[in-house]
Amino acid sequence: GAVVSQHPSWVICKSGTSVKIECRSLDFQATTMFWYRQFPKQSLMLMATSNEGSKATYEQGVEKDKFLINHASLTLSTLTVTSAHPEDSSFYICSAIPGTSGVGDTQYFGPGTRLTVL
């Protein structure tokens, strides 16, 4: 149980285009999902907290107009990188917390999306 999927697993795009990444909780509902960015050999950097039915909460230094997050249902959150540039190339990982009530602490991670911007 507690499986999270991401699509696509990798994407290559041209500079200036937009890319959408999907994060799905397959066997549970999640009101809260998180989006991380991970550079090679570095830790996970939280970009934003995605809450179903409300606006995402962005971490300091993360441009909300560049990284659009939509959490339209209890099983799906999307991250759109708008007008992507080479410096946006990275490994993007989502996570989700099972349940709509309860303790609400354990996060389960998706497999990640490798974005390369040419």
Q: Is 108 an interacting residue with respect to other proteins (CB under 8 A)?
A: yes
Spacing of C-alpha 35 from chain mean position: 3
Binding mask 48-87 for other proteins (x = CB under 8 A): -x--------------------------------------
Structure tokens at 45: 């950097």
How far is residue 82's CA from residue 67's CA, in Å, rounded to a whole number?
Answer: 6
Determine the interface stretch with other proteins among 18-26, 62-70, 82-90, 101-109 (rule: CB under 8 A). 101-109
**Identity of the amino acid at 26:** L
In one-letter notation, the amino acid at residue 70 is N
> DSSP secondary structure string, 86-118?
GGG-EEEEEEEE-BSSS-----EE---EEEEE-
- List 12, 55, 104, 118, residue binding other proteins (CB under 8 A): 104
Cβ-contact 2, 97 below 8 angstroms = no
x-or-dash pattern for other proteins, window 12-51, by CB under 8 A? -------------------xx-x------xxxx-x--x--
Considering only 81, 93, 115, 117, the residue that binds other proteins (CB under 8 A) is 93
Site residues, other proteins (CB under 8 A):
31-32, 34, 41-44, 46, 49, 93, 97, 103-112
